[in-house]
Amino acid sequence: MPHHLIRKLDRYAGLSADDKEMLQRLVCDVAWVASDHDLIDEGAALRQVGVILDGWACCYKQIEDGRRQIVAYLIPGDLCGTPPVFPSIVNYSVATLTPVRVAQIPAHALLSAMDKSPRITRAFWLDLLASFAIQREWTANVGLRTARERIAHLFCEIVTRLRAVGLTTADGCNLPLTQEDIGETVGLSTVHVNRTLQELRAAGLISLKRQQLVIPDFAALRAVAHFDSTYLCRSRLEADADPPPAAMAGSAVPA
């Protein structure tokens, strides 16, 4: 069932047919969760990993006075929780942004699959490292960019990630975020997000209405954002980096 996840892990580490079969059988407890519900509460001790099958969720942190920071978005194919060490206490919460279909992988099942296949182990490592790389990029994003750059960067990242799982249209994507969500993501007030979006629209860099984000000229937006996508797609590079540099066919990698 978790097509996106398996495809992603395959891209990371080149799974065998057996590996994929095994992963298929890991999941259980597939369920729909309504929008705006918590999947994980801060401080919980997890004994399983969630897999997002459909919909969007976000990881966030809150401080006493109510201020909230979104620290990650989860889209189909993403893990929800902290594989694969159990029990593991999380220090953030996860909330759905849309209705979400989510599956669970029990601790023991995941660990035994990793025991049996080094490729699966490697794939989960790479997935974690990829999330880490995104987190680093987010720290840099809020730390050193201007409002306009931050939002542009966020949009570049989202579209690139959605494209990797086939959830984009030709030149955009569905974006189930309110301006408040965006503000809590990039560290700006809602009002200023609104004004900055208008700037981006006025500059012809994006159009955004009714949750439809359109980026007519991705290269232009990427330039504004100083967006460098390598942090998102290292998976493949690493596989290819194994042999010494040589001329190689450009596109398809055999499964």
Binding site for DNA (CB under 7 A): 146-148, 178-180, 187-192, 194-198, 209-210
- Kindly state whether residue 87 participates in binding a second copy, applying the rule CB under 8 A: yes
First to last CA, the chain: 19
By beta-carbon proximity to a second copy, the closer residue of 125 and 218 is 125
Tokens of 185: 């993501």
Spell out the residues 6+ positions from residue 126 whose beta carbon is closer than 8 angstroms to its own: 12, 13, 235, 238
Q: Does 73 bind a second copy (CB under 8 A)?
A: no
Q: Which helix (H) or strand (E) segment is 48 a member of?
A: strand 48-54
Whole-number Cα distances in Å, 113 to 26, 124, 131, 178: 8, 11, 21, 39
From 84, 152, 155, 208, residue interacting with a second copy (rule: CB under 8 A):
84
The label of the residue with tokens 């006493």 reads: 64
Contact with a second copy (CB under 8 A) among 1, 22, 128, 214: 128
Residue 45 contact among a second copy, DNA, none, beta carbon within 5 to 8 Å by kind: a second copy
- For the record, the structure tokens of 130 come out as 């990829």
Identified binder of a second copy from the candidate list 7, 68, 101, 163, rule CB under 8 A: 68
Secondary structure E strands in 151-206 = 172-174
CA 88 to chain centre: 20
CB of residue 124 vs DNA: minimum separation in angstroms? 34
Per-residue tokens: 251: 């596109």
> Residue 230 touches which of DNA, a second copy, none (CB < 5 to 8 A by kind)?
a second copy
**Could you give the CA distance from residue 84 to residue 250 in angstroms, rounded to a whole number?**
34
| Interface characters, 132-171, with a second copy (x: CB under 8 A) | xx-xxxxxx-xxx---------------------------
Tell me how far, at minimum, the Cβ of 180 lies from DNA, in Å.
Answer: 6
Out of 7, 20, 101, 122, point to the residue binding a second copy (CB under 8 A). 122
Residue from 237, 246, 247, 249 binding a second copy (CB under 8 A): 237
- Return the residue of 64, 219, 246, 251 that touches a second copy, per CB under 8 A: 64
Q: How far is the CB of 169 from a second copy (least distance, A)?
A: 28
Within 10 angstroms of residue 227's Cβ, the number of other Cβ atoms is 23
Indicate whether 217 belongs to the interface with a second copy (CB under 8 A): no
Strand partners, 46: 88
